[in-house]
Every structure is written in C-alpha cells, then in structure tokens.
Amino acid sequence: MKRTIAFGGVVATAGLLAAGLVTPAQAAGDVASDALANNGIAAYAIAAYWKANNAANLIGATPYNVETKVVAKHVSKGGPTPDSKPGVVPAIGDEKKTAAKSKNVNLPKTTGKVFFTGADKEPHWCTATSVQSQYRNLVATAGHCVYDTESNATTMDNWVFIPGYYEGKTPWGIYVGKQAFTHYDYDVYEDADRNYAFVTVYNGLKFHHDGVIKDRWGKPFDSNPGAWKEVSKETFDKFPHSFHAAGYSCRVGNKYYVWAFEDAGRLGDNVGGQGLAYNQKVGKPVFVFGYPSGAHPDGNHAFSGKTLKWTYGKTFAVQAPAIKGEELVGTKSSFTGEGSLGSAWLVNYKSAKRIGYLNGVTIGVSDTDGNNRYDTSFSPYFDGETIGVYNAAKNLWSGSIAVPFESPALH
C-alpha cells in the first residue's frame, strides 16, 4: 500500500518498509501499526549500525527539523474538547499515589533521544520518553519522529531510543524499536491532531569488552567494544554473510563465535516510565522536557541539544490549519524546533520522584508575537483516540536481541 498526501504545501509519498522487510500495515479501528525491526537479526543489525566506528553515527547525528515551524498568522484560538471522561495511567513507581513536594526540578531519567535515518539516509534524532506498559518496553514521541513523511517509506530506518544520551554515551543502554503504533489519521492523512506515536522496544543493549579472540589469520577481533560468545554451528550459520564479512562472527578451529551485545534489561526497569493522562482540562500547567537545538529566527543559538532542558507553563487551545491542526494545545516555551520534536509534556510532575503523566508531545513551535524568538510549543490534545493507540501497544512483549537466533521468538 502506498499513499500520496499533500501536507503544508508539500506532497509526500510513503510506502510500507520496515527494517528491510516490506510488511503491510496492520490497523485495528483507528490504530495503525508498522514494523520497525520485527525480528532479532534486523534489530541486531540496527544496534551494530549505531555502535560501529566508535559510535560515529550517533555522534554525527543531527536534530530532525521536518515540519516544525508554524507561521504565526496560521495560529488561531479554538481547539480541542474532551471526547469522554478524563483518565490517567499511573507511572511506573506511582501506582500508589503519595504526596511529595520539591522546590527543585529534578530532570526525569525517562527522557532521551530517538535516533534514526530519514529520507536523506543521514542519521537524525528527536526527543522521546519512556512510558508505562505491561512489559515496561514502551516509548512515546511525535509521529513524524517515527513515520517518514518525506520519502516513499512508512517508518524511519534504524530506529533506536537512548535514555540519558550524551555525546556517544549510553548510560542505560540502546533500545531498538520493534513495532510502531500511531493513529490511522496520521498514518494516512498526516493529521497533526494525531501526530504522536508509541513504539515497543526490545531489551536494551550494553557494550563492553570481554577478552579478544583472533581469526584464522591471527588478526584480533577488537574493533568494536563488546563480548564474544561461543554459539552452536547452527546459530552461527544463520548469521548473514554480510555479518561474517563485517567481523561480527568468526570461527576459531572447531569453535564458532558471534559478537554478543550484553542485555541491559527492560527499559522501564532501568529508567522508569511516565504515566499517561488524557481528556484533561485545557489550562493545566505542564513541564516540557526535551533536547532543543538550533537557533531562533533572529539567529540567537540558544540551545546546543546536548543536555535535557525544561520549560513550565499552562496549556491553551489553539488551531493551526496549515498543518491540519484543528485540535491542538499550546504552551509558552522558548524551545527551538530542532531537537525538541517529541518532547514530553508532563502534568502533575513530582520532582522528587521524577514522574508525572504524559499529556502531550511537541510537534512544532512558533514565534507568535513577531519578535523573531520562538515562544510557543504545540502538541496534539491527548483524548480517547490517543488512549486507544496506547492501549494497542501497551501489552506487547519484545524480549532480548543480545544474540539473535538463540530465542525462537526472535527468529
């Protein structure tokens, strides 16, 4: 299936491509689902791509800035109304509510960067956050940080989430995306009111060096940090020839080895997961956490994108028809658009526990007062349609990809 749609004056075509495997999108009602890396070997290859050459692709990635700027004259009052009763999903660790107050703003461990290759085949990143789910393996971000609106593809390639990322460092591991979920109206029509996505991720991967073995020519296999693991000939033979050629597997005498990434465990166990709030009254204060980068229109380079930043303000209803946004919410924020796409909007954030309720994700910014400084961020309004997409993703298991083919579920 292919789709051709006009968005903001640009015509984009997108087909269904996931991790090198052409797979039809699955839709249940208003939910669209697409594979990112639907088997262990594809996920293993994605991890290898990001860690190759001392993480050169991670370090060289640039902030994604597609469809981020909303011209002030295209912003108007009006906006969303709840479609059912308000509701919440508790955060990990907050299933039993406790009162906690703090004067300081402690940054959440749940927020990090998603890395992917876009239509230009270059590495880019957005902001994303871990959210509550049955298997503690779910990430939320903006829809266009997952779904490719620029090329003849459905989802971005090489999609991974790295909480707490900083200059090549991955303190809690790398989490490869398995399955992406968004609203049907975003997948097909690029409706800004549904510009959000939930992604299940495999267990995280850590990288360490655990000895060196040599190939049959006596050359050490030590070009990447990691560990060698002896496997059966059957597992060894399942690795593609390209992996053998790239040095991710080798034979020493009658023994067979593959490059094993250390399993870091589940995302939510390592960094927690925010709750989810929907059909909330517009006007509530929110913290916005993200990695803004780039310059304001006046040239002021306010943010580097290297460290997590926050803003705080009340939400208000807005419309932005130019990006098909009739039911958006805004908040006053100095974040620039580059890098801040996917930033987490958290209501009732408890600084002491570093958790709250996800109630939006940044999809664009605007200079609404004409002073050449961005002053407003926008998000879809989270309603019953949002919780429907979340419910489709929240109970799906992912598993480990440290050594593909060893787990029958990942073949």
List strand residue ranges (DSSP E) for 157-246, in order.
157-163, 175-183, 196-201, 204-206, 227-231
Residue 213 banded pLDDT, cuts 50, 70, 90: very low
Strands 344-350 and 285-290: antiparallel
pTM comes to 0.83
- What are 161's strand-pairing partners? 114, 175
Is pLDDT above 50 for 194? yes
Q: Quick check: 224 pLDDT over 70?
A: no
Residue spans of beta strands (DSSP E) within 207-268: 227-231, 249-252, 255-260, 262-265
Between CA 119 and CA 67 the distance in angstroms is 14
Mean pLDDT value across residues 256-262: 83
At 223, the amino acid letter reads: S
* Structure tokens that stand for 73 in this block: 């004259």
Examine the pLDDT at 294 and tell me if it is beyond 80.
yes
137 is written with which tokens?
A: 């393996």
Contacts of 95 (CB under 8 A, 6+ apart): none
Q: How confident is the model at residue 68 (pLDDT cuts 50, 70, 90)?
A: low
Helix segments in 195-299, DSSP class H:
233-238, 241-245, 267-271
Token reading at 82: 């709840």
Phi/psi for 55 (5° steps) reads 60, 35
Is residue 115 helix, strand or coil? strand
- Residue 45's φ and ψ, nearest 5 degrees, are -65, -35
The average pLDDT across 351-358 equals 95
Contact 283, 314 (CB under 8 A): yes
* Average predicted confidence (pLDDT) for the chain: 82
Residue ranges of domains in the chain, CATH in brackets: 3-205+267-393 (2.40.10.120), 208-260 (no CATH)
For residue 14, give both structure tokens: 């997108």
Q: Which two tokens stand for residue 203?
A: 């267990």
DSSP at 202: P
Q: What percent of the chain has pLDDT over 90?
A: 54
Please state, in angstroms and rounded to a whole number, the distance separating the CA atoms of residues 142 and 192: 10
User: Among candidates 21, 408, 56, 41, which has minimal Cα distance to 258?
Assistant: 41
175, amino acid identity: Y
> In whole angstroms, what is the distance from residue 219 CA to residue 213 CA?
8
Distance from C-alpha of 279 to C-alpha of 274, rounded to nearest angstrom: 17
Q: Output the pLDDT for position 342.
A: 97
| CB of 339 closer than 8 Å to CB of 291 | yes
Q: What percent of the chain stands above pLDDT 70?
A: 77
Q: Which of 344, 330, 337 is nearest to 140 (CA)?
A: 344
Dmax over Cα atoms in the chain, in whole Å? 72
Q: How confident is the model at residue 269 (pLDDT cuts 50, 70, 90)?
A: very high
d(CA 256, CA 28): 44
**Residue 223: predicted pLDDT:** 42
**What integer pLDDT is reported at residue 46 of this predicted model?**
93
CB neighbours (10 Å) of residue 74?
14
Q: Note the Cα 269 to chain centre separation in Å.
A: 17
Q: Using an 8 Å Cβ cutoff, are 299 and 407 in contact?
A: no
CB 407 within 8 A of CB 399: yes
- Name the CA dihedral angle for 344, 271, 102, 286, rounded to a multiple of 10 degrees: 10
Q: How many residues does the chain have?
A: 411
Distance CA 229, CA 212 (A): 11
